[in-house]
């Protein structure tokens, strides 16, 4: 079945540094990728939608200059958290639109970001 | 208004018994899809079941069934014969419209705890 590989699974970074999270579709072409953020004990909140070869569409309240999304190929989308602060500590998870199976969406395994 | 509402933040169920997790939704679209995901403590999102708005039969996948009541806009998940491994967060989600790029909107989640 469709697989989305997300790396890293866990990262700790210092305040002010940038962190890049990768999501790679392994056996299908992901024309659309969704990026979610999940704070502890809360639900998944959509941050942005990225389409291959075009600029990402950000949800209201999400700073596009802080959360840089690149979807340069049909198999790779990246989220870069720039100048990270402790309040950016969260669980980030990507999801690719997958038209092959009933699930319709394939999720990465998530990245737990801790900013110290 | 919330698009997806899960009114049970936490639920207990005895092992081997059935449990129903509630989900109501709000949309003006005629075509939409409803999903249930399980999220264990590892964070991965595990697809459980899907119901299309035009599907006349309630969806079933093994021990999972979806009680779809369109007029009431509810899509409750029924888990039969609960197992200890069913303890996790459960999220109801909706995709609106026919556009393949449409994102999933998630409810607040229900934490299910299965008692031995």
Instruction: Tell me the per-residue pLDDT of A53-66, one tens digit each, with 9 for 90 and over.
Output: 888 999 999 999 99
Q: Do A104 and B105 touch (CB under 8 A)?
A: no
Instruction: Give the Cα separation of A85 and B43 in Å (integer).
Output: 22
How confident is the model at residue B98, as a pLDDT?
63
> What tokens were used for A53?
């070869």
Instruction: Give the Cα separation of B18 and B83 in Å (integer).
Output: 10
Average pLDDT, chain B: 94
Residues 6+ apart with CB under 8 A from A42: B108, B109
Residue B100 has pLDDT above 60, yes or no: no
Instruction: Give the Cα separation of A109 and A112 in Å (integer).
Output: 10
Residue of A30, A66, A60 lying closest to A47 (CA atoms)? A60
pLDDT, mean of residues B80-108: 89
Instruction: Give the Cα separation of B92 and A107 in Å (integer).
Output: 15
Closest partner residue to B50 (CB to CB) among A51, A104, A107 is: A104
Q: Do A103 and B109 touch (CB under 8 A)?
A: no
**Cβ atoms < 10 Å from Cβ of A104:** 20
CB proximity B3 to A under 8 Å: no
């Amino acid at each position: 079945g469709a697989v989305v590989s997300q790396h890293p699974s866990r990262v700790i970074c210092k305040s002010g540094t940038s962190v890049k999270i990768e999501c790679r579709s392994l056996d299908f072409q992901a024309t659309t990728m969704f990026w979610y953020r999940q704070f502890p004990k809360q639900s998944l909140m959509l941050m942005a939608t990225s389409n291959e070869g075009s600029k990402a569409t950000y949800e209201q309240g999400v700073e596009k200059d802080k959360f840089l999304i690149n979807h340069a190929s049909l198999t790779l989308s990246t989220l870069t958290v720039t100048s990270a602060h402790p309040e950016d500590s969260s669980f980030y998870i990507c999801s690719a639109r997958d038209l092959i199976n009933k699930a319709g969406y394939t999720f990465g395994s998530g990245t737990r970001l801790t900013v110290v | 208004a919330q698009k997806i509402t899960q009114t049970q933040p936490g639920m207990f169920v005895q092992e081997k018994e059935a449990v129903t997790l509630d989900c109501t939704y709000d949309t003006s679209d005629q075509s939409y899809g409803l999903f249930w995901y399980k999220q264990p403590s590892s964070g991965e999102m595990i697809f459980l079941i899907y119901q299309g708005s035009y599907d006349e039969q309630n969806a079933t996948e093994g021990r999972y069934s979806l009680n779809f009541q369109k007029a009431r806009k509810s899509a409750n998940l029924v888990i039969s014969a609960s197992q200890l491994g069913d303890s996790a967060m459960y999220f109801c989600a909706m995709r609106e419209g026919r556009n393949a790029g449409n994102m999933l909107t998630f409810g607040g989640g229900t934490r299910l705890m299965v008692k031995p």
